[in-house]
Amino acid sequence: MALVAADGLWSVLRRRLGHRTQPRFARHVAWRTLVPANAVPPDFAAPAVNLWLGSRAHLVHYPVKAGRMINVVAILRDDWKEPGWTAAGSRAELLDRFPPGMWHAPAHELLKASAQWQKWALYDCPPFRRWGKGPVTLLGDAAHPMLPYLAQGAAMAIEDAAVLGACLARTPDDPASAMRVYERMRLGRSARTQRAACRNGTLYHLGGAAGFLRTLTLLAVGGAGLLKRYDWLYGWEPR
């Protein structure tokens, strides 16, 4: 029996399972860093996720390590010319893409607070119709590579594991059948989450009149309304 996640030889196994579609560069690049909380204004250490939206880019930050550090992720539409899928990033290059005239001063100051940045090319792949064969299946990003605009990549992998474990427990003597049940239970939900993440990526990076209308809509709906839209996602329980 083989349970394969996103690391190791997952791409080889996917091909052996009949998946020929290659991951595609989403033309988005994520820049990440950690900033000491004492190096930025106290508001940045508040226990909340902060999202800044702009034309062709957005910024997310939130405290980690019991509030001692701030995790900062800046994602922008870009090309990728590095030899691999990750590389060291230049603060000056990033600040050029977040000019102070286009971004509020607090967001710009946060980006300036770190000299050490790492950048990642973001890749996407359409939902697969089949994850496994015989006593072999996929879970996590190996089964449904997910863009980060809904923050559900790790969450979907945890859900996969919970459902797969329950299915195997119900039919421990027939793992292949358990895996097919698991796949049927997870295919629709993971595909819906992939699509929702892609839509968010488009909405986050709108500019001009479209961006203005998006912002007005978000303000009108409010935080409670936005959360309600995702009842299907956050209200899920394993079976």
How far apart are alpha carbons 151 and 62 in whole angstroms? 13
Q: How many CB atoms lie within 10 A of CB 73?
A: 16
How far apart are alpha carbons 218 and 225 in whole angstroms? 9
- Taking alpha carbons only, the member of 84, 49, 56 closest to residue 70 is 49
Tokens 């250490």 label which residue? 45
How far apart are alpha carbons 40 and 46 in whole angstroms? 11
Catalytic residues: 62
| Average pLDDT of the segment spanning 154-181 | 96
Give 2-22+127-234's CATH code, choosing from 3.50.50.60, 3.20.20.150, 3.20.20.60, 3.30.2010.20.
Answer: 3.50.50.60
Amino acid at 76: L
Q: What pTM, to 2 d.p., does this model score?
A: 0.86
Alpha helices in the chain (DSSP H): 10-16, 91-97, 105-112, 153-170, 175-204, 208-229, 231-234
* Tokens representing residue 91 in the block: 């603060």
3-class secondary structure, 97 = helix
* Tokens representing residue 239 in the block: 């079976």
- Reported confidence tier of residue 7, pLDDT bands at 50, 70, 90: very low
CATH 3.30.9.30 fits 24-124, yes or no: yes
| Average pLDDT of the segment spanning 4-12 | 53
Give the pLDDT confidence of 97-137 residue by residue, as tens digits.
998 888 988 898 999 999 999 999 999 888 888 899 899 89
The distance between the two most distant Cα atoms of the chain, rounded to a whole number of Å, is: 64
80 pLDDT exceeds 70? yes
Residues ≥6 apart with Cβ < 8 Å to 115: 91
What are the structural domain ranges in the chain? 2-22+127-234, 24-124
**Reduced DSSP (H G I as helix, E B as strand, rest coil) percent helix, strand, coil of the chain, to 5:** 45, 25, 30
How far apart are alpha carbons 102 and 176 in whole angstroms? 54
What pLDDT is attached to residue 11?
67
Residue 194 and residue 127 in contact, taking contact as beta carbons nearer than 8 Å: yes
Tokens 């996602």 label which residue? 233
The more confident residue out of 3 and 135 is 135
Pairing mode of beta strands 57-64, 117-124 = unpaired
What pLDDT is attached to residue 84?
86
* Tokens representing residue 30 in the block: 């994520």
How far apart are alpha carbons 74 and 18 in whole angstroms? 35
13 pLDDT exceeds 90? no
Amino acid at 155: A
Beta bridge partners of 133: 136
Length of the chain as a residue count: 239
| Average pLDDT of the segment spanning 222-234 | 86
Pairing mode of beta strands 57-64, 69-77 = antiparallel
